[in-house]
Amino acid sequence: MERLFIRGVNWLGDSVMTLPALAAFRTAYPGVRIGLAAPAGVIPLWRLCPYVDGLFLLEKGLRAEWRMARAIRAWQPDRAVVFPNSFRSAWLPFLAGVKERIGSAGRFRRLLLTRIVAVAPSGHHALRYYDLLELPRPAERLEIRGHLRLDPEWCRQVIERVRGVAGEGKAFPSPVREGWLAVLPGAARGVSKCWPADRFAAAAGRVAAAREMGVVIAGSSSEVALCRTVAEGIQGPVVSVAGRTNAAELAAVLAAARVVLCNDSGGMHLAAAVGTPVVALFGVTDPARTGPLGDGHRVVMAPGVRRSEAVARRSEAARAALEAVPVEAAVQALEAILDARGKE
């Protein structure tokens, strides 16, 4: 049986965006076993994915690289596909001695790869993985939902733990008429992709009060202070679980929400993947390239902003574009989604 090793991407959002291409590959080649290497932060996500047969944990350091190379070699892949663009990501299958190594050009990688694949610059970022897997790009709209398997009983246990974070044995959120509103105020790219915290609090607080909803705020361990700031600005039932959930548990939290308010972030893509509509705040990044996939989402951005794919972590232009997005625009988008969901 043929074996394919994939050097997976490093970030949550990018990992989610590979799912449609992996699903298409699994359909086209059902007999191929797929092994995927990824960092610890996204390994829990991949455990929810039915398309991957084996996982390899990426660790930092030269010794860790040699251990990983030996593990890959022992798995005996017939070929490798390198999803990231970096030199280091192409180095791993080369070190492991995989005979056929496929990836895109650039970053001095030609000596490490046996075949260079052209990646079309147009279209949504998720389409590049079809190119790397040498699959035809789909003619129809990409579907991000349905690629993760969330066990209902496990999800129930995760949600009960979220309720317990509120403390004092109180049921959270209460009172509830329309479930909860999830807020993801952070982003891996930092302030260049983050709407101001006080505006997250203002928009979420207004909608939650009007709809009698509880608010769950989530983020990474590096976003605990940010999430606490947003929580402190909201009156009524609110809890922050920042730093308390891994990628899989975050998927369960987002799946239980009625709507998600977020930046252009990995959490945005994860919410779309579990079928929860998002209101996504965009600055200078282009939603046609990195926006949420699927129906029912709303992208909110300032008009007349020049779009850019490469955004510095502390880009003043990006920060200004996000600050130009008013609270009212986010509130209206949230209300529109909740109205539509009320008719389901």
Whether residue 236 contacts residue 220, with contact meaning beta carbons closer than 8 Å, is answered with no
Sheet strand arrangement including 33-39:
54-58, 33-39, 3-7, 79-82, 100-103, 115-116
Domain boundary residue among 85, 101, 132? 132
As a residue count, the chain comes to: 344
Of 172, 137, 186, the C-alpha closest to 257 is 172
Number of domains in the chain: 2
Q: How far is CA 242 from CA 39, 60, 158, 216, 279, in A?
A: 20, 25, 14, 9, 19
CATH number for the domain harbouring residue 258: 3.40.50.2000
The SS3 call for residue 58 is: strand
Residue 42 lies in a domain: yes
Low-confidence ranges of the chain (pLDDT < 50): 168-171, 173-176
Domain boundary residue among 97, 132, 167? 132
- Residue 16: what are its φ and ψ, rounded to 5°? -60, -40
- pLDDT at position 170 is 45
pLDDT tens digits, residue range 16-59?
Answer: 999 999 999 999 999 999 999 999 999 999 999 999 999 999 99
The residue segments making up the domain with residue 275 are 153-342
- Do 20 and 127 belong to one domain? yes
User: From CA 228, how far away is CA 174, in angstroms rounded?
Assistant: 20
- pLDDT at position 343 is 63
Residue 266 lies in a domain: yes
pLDDT tens digits, residue range 200-223?
Answer: 999 999 999 999 898 999 999 999
- pLDDT at position 163 is 72
- pLDDT at position 140 is 86
- pLDDT at position 175 is 42
- Do 58 and 172 belong to one domain? no
- Do 173 and 315 belong to one domain? yes
Residue 142 lies in a domain: no
Looking up tokens 């779309």 gives 272
Give the pTM: 0.95
Distance linking the first and last C-alpha atoms of the chain: 45
- pLDDT at position 42 is 98
